[in-house]
Amino acid sequence: MAHLLMVESWVGSMSRLLPRAVREGGHEFTFLTRDLHHYLRSAPEGVAHPLLGARNVITADTNDTETLLPQIERLHTVLRFDGVLTSCDYYLPTAARIAGRLGLPGPGPEAVGNACRKDATRRVLADAGLPGPRFALHREWAELARAAREIGYPLVVKPVDLCAGMYVRRVDDETQLADAVNALADFPVNARGQRREPVVLLEELLDGPEVSVETVSHAGAVHVVGVTDKSIGGAPAFIETGHMFPAALSSADTEAAEQTALTALKALGLTEAVVAHTEIKLTAAGPRVVEVNPRPAGNRITELVRHVTGIDLTAAYVDVSLGRAPDLRRTDTGLRSAAIGFLVPEHTGTLEAQGQLKEVDGVLELLLTEPGKTVKAAGSNNEYLGHVMAGDPEGPGARDRVETLLAELRSGLVVR
């Protein structure tokens, strides 16, 4: 039995999947957080939160890494950790620094830091010769406006240090650019109390479908598990409305996406103890990296992979965090594809009713928000009203099945 240090977590599905993977692997974990109530608020009614299954729950200022590191060293002398992990993007650099300080398995702190900063990722990949969009980084309006004219509209405005698509916007002219920049300036602190970098990343708008490549790195080798496709909506935002694994691509496009992800991971130095989710646009000029996430995919993509291949990417994350070879053997699960679709609110108001499914054949998951909740029109991946997941035992038909199910659910959705 190994003992892992879990530094914060998301409050969504990964907050349940990761503790489960630790437990099913025969291990235990100590949970480290600056605010336990952040998680208790999200616990299902009448059900103990999985994070409370920790061997220890310790409160410390996880936002002050320099003070935290010597505290963890002292804890390590007593509790003896065998690995460090987190499922929260905002604490991936912290977990990497702790692992490095304690001499435990993990990706290099610099590699993780560069992957978690969108501007740093762009610079590293450009230096490595990997083709990408034209981009510019500025904080002052005059410089941003000039850079936008040089790149050319339409373009994409991004924060460098947020996730879930927050404040990522397409802009078609200078007026829209000003609106996007001002909205971002009004969000100086993220949801975890960390002060944001007051800079704005401008990127050339990339055409083509978007996919993600799911990989596992161990002992210097990067293993491709597969390629997931995604549907995007909510313009001018970029909201993920659904995914399917495996992506319905030609063999040439699949190989091109995989090779692009491998090149990006190696350029960043993410070849040790990391499960990664690399997002790529398949443009007319070839694959282009959108971003590299040095953690397992969110939005239940890890479950899509598990349903089709039998590979548990969350369990693989636990294994590599302990320096152990992950089990990436495929099994015949009876499914050839699995897809998920999200209910995305288009209006602000109160959720009065949800739709119902008449036919549940092939449904793997169904999660719906209870009526009575106050909702707002979605601007990121944080405002979903539920999801449905389904599989296809014959081929790549899971997405069509999910779209049919979503249409049923939307028909009864009432927000006023």
Q: pLDDT tens digits, residue range 258-269?
A: 999 999 999 999
Is 70 exceeded by the pLDDT of residue 317? yes
Select from 322, 256, 329 the least CA-distant residue to 287. Answer: 256
What per-residue confidence (pLDDT) applies to 100?
Answer: 98
Positive or negative, the CA dihedral 38, 44, 50, 55 is positive
When pLDDT is averaged across residues 301-312 and rounded to a whole number, the result is 98
Express each pLDDT in 207-260 by its tens digit.
999 999 999 999 999 999 999 999 999 999 999 999 999 999 999 999 999 999
Is 80 exceeded by the pLDDT of residue 45? no
Is 70 exceeded by the pLDDT of residue 300? yes
Express each pLDDT in 281-296 by its tens digit.
999 999 999 999 999 9
Is 80 exceeded by the pLDDT of residue 43? no
Express each pLDDT in 402-411 by its tens digit.
999 999 999 9
What per-residue confidence (pLDDT) applies to 39?
Answer: 85
Cα(321)–Cα(413) distance, integer angstroms = 42
Could you tell me what percent of the chain has a pLDDT over 90?
A: 86
When pLDDT is averaged across residues 328-348 and rounded to a whole number, the result is 96
What per-residue confidence (pLDDT) applies to 92?
Answer: 98
Select from 23, 28, 21, 24 the least CA-distant residue to 2. Answer: 28
- Out of 119-133, 162-176, 341-355, least confident range: 341-355
What per-residue confidence (pLDDT) applies to 246?
Answer: 98
Cα(28)–Cα(54) distance, integer angstroms = 7
What per-residue confidence (pLDDT) applies to 38?
Answer: 87
What per-residue confidence (pLDDT) applies to 40?
Answer: 80
pLDDT band at 56 (very low <50, low <70, confident <90, very high): very high
For residue 318, the surrounding DSSP H or E stretch is helix 313-321
Q: Which domains does the chain have, with CATH numbers?
A: 3-104 (3.40.50.20), 134-204 (3.30.1490.20), 207-333 (3.30.470.20), 336-416 (3.30.470.20)
Is 70 exceeded by the pLDDT of residue 200? yes
Cα(230)–Cα(247) distance, integer angstroms = 8
Is 90 exceeded by the pLDDT of residue 359? no
6 and 14 Cβ atoms separated by less than 8 Å: no
Is 90 exceeded by the pLDDT of residue 50? no
Beta bridge partners of 55: none
Is 80 exceeded by the pLDDT of residue 326? yes
Cα(254)–Cα(277) distance, integer angstroms = 15
Is 80 exceeded by the pLDDT of residue 55? yes
Cα(98)–Cα(68) distance, integer angstroms = 9
Copy the structure tokens of residue 252. 């040439």
